[in-house]
Amino acid sequence: MTDHSIPGGLRPVLFISERDAIVCPQCGGYATHLNVVEVSNEVSSARVVASGEDDRSRINISIGPGGGGRRHTVRLVIDCEEQWCRTIIDLRQHKGDTEWHRTDLKVENDEDFGR
C-alpha cells in the first residue's frame, strides 16, 4: 500500500481507499467512474468522453475554442453510481501555483451519467 498521509493543515484533492481506488468525495461510494477529461488553455481545448462497456465502449474527442485565461486547466469529471453524484475537479495554473476547485453536483437521470 502507498502512504497517502497528508501533512497537517493540507486537504486532499481526491479521497483514496485502502485499496488505492478513488472514493466519491460526496457520498463515500466506491462505484466511481472517470468518464470525462478536459484540457484547455487560452487558445484551444480538448474534451475526451469515455462511455459504454465491453463491446459498446467508445471514446469521443471534441476540439474547441479555449477556456480563457493565460494558463492551462485540466478538468476531471468523476461520476458515482451509488448516490448519482458528479464531482468536477479543476486544476488551474495561476501565477506560478497550481490551484484546484471542486464542484459537487447530482446527476439528474441515467442518460446524463458519464456525459
Higher pLDDT, 74 or 7: 74
What are 9-56's pLDDT values in tens digits? Answer: 677 777 888 888 999 989 999 999 988 899 988 888 888 888 777 777
Q: Which residues pair with 20 in a beta bridge?
A: none
For residue 72, the surrounding DSSP H or E stretch is none
pLDDT of residue 71: 79
DSSP code of residue 79: E
pLDDT average, residue stretch 48-74? 81
Residues 104, 88: Cα–Cα separation, whole Å: 7
pTM value is 0.78
pLDDT given for residue 1 in this prediction: 47
